Structure 1
């Protein structure tokens, strides 16, 4: 089972304030523990939404709309993520609880979301095979 630990943005992360050296060290240690346990797939921080682009589809079949950041609602914005593969939801929660406060000022918020396996999305064997081929080219089995 794959889970994404979604780190919500804060006013500081949206202002481009970089984490303290102590927080960087704590996050590095956490990522090393995930890797050593064999559950880490990816972990990255994201630039502020001031450099982001949002693409929306306001009407079915309509032309997409492009809006440049920044975006107003900080609690709706993602500042980073960690992607893990574990045996259970409980294990994912345990790992999420071990993550240091992602902003280091008591403002951190992590949302834990299970990632769909492609087979959960469609029973179509041909589409599953095509998706598996794409993932194999990327070096990922899920």
Structure 2
């Protein structure tokens, strides 16, 4: 099963983290990432730029065409700062890895299971062209990652 660990923070937690030496943060997160990699459970993950960075934007699909906003779409607690994708055999193991994450007070880690291909396939007809295409795309992506990596 795949799980996504979604990192969230309050304004106070972000302010407190700004007081910590960034190299220390990188070292703690690096050790956490290394442990997951060495255990064979880390399928991906990235940190995200600050929600207010000029490269970011939000599309609101309440209108046609969607409205573009340069501002974050909600309070800090509703935004996420980074994520990991884990491939683990159970919810309990996902929880165990999440509990090891080196986050401080005011930080939260939302853990969400990612739908498996078989679950989506159960909701659509057997011959759905996009279900078949997605399998091919995933295989191509895995092969490309292996060549590049």
Q: Does TM, scored on the shorter chain, surpass 0.5?
A: yes
Structure 1 gaps of 5+ residues are: none
| Equivalent position of 1:137 in the other structure | 140
Q: TM-score, normalised by structure 2?
A: 0.79
Residue 65 of structure 2 aligns to a residue whose secondary structure is: coil
Structure 2 gaps of 5+ residues are: 144-149
Contact persistence 1:4–1:114 (CA under 8 A): yes
Contact persistence 2:9–2:106 (CA under 8 A): no
Matched, 1:108 2:111: no
Contact persistence 2:3–2:86 (CA under 8 A): yes
Runs of 4 or more, structure 1, over 6 Å off, are none
| Equivalent position of 1:6 in the other structure | 6
Residue 96 of structure 2 aligns to a residue whose secondary structure is: helix
Supply the distance in 2 between the matched residues of 1:118 and 1:19 (Cα, whole angstroms): 41
| Equivalent position of 1:127 in the other structure | 130
Matched pairs, number = 134
| Equivalent position of 1:67 in the other structure | 69
Q: TM-score, normalised by structure 1?
A: 0.83
Supply the distance in 2 between the matched residues of 1:69 and 1:18 (Cα, whole angstroms): 25
Q: Per residue, is there more helix in 1 or in 2?
A: 2
Residue 55 (structure 1) aligned to one of 42, 53, 59 = 59
